[in-house]
Amino acid sequence: MQFTKEQIESFKALYKKEFGEELTDEQAQVEAGDLIDMLKVVCKPVKRESYEKFATERTTNK
Asked whether 33 and 1 are in contact (CB, 8 A), the reply is yes
Range of the domain at 27: 5-60
Q: Domain total for the chain?
A: 1
pLDDT, residue 62, reads 58
Q: Which residues of 8-39 are buried (b: 16+ CB within 10 A; e: fewer)?
A: beebbeebeeeeeeebeeeebbebbeeeeeee
Residue 8 in this model has a pLDDT that exceeds 80: yes
Q: What is the pLDDT of residues 21-40, one digit of tens each?
A: 999 999 999 999 999 999 99
Mean pLDDT of the chain: 92
Q: For the chain, give the number of residues.
A: 62
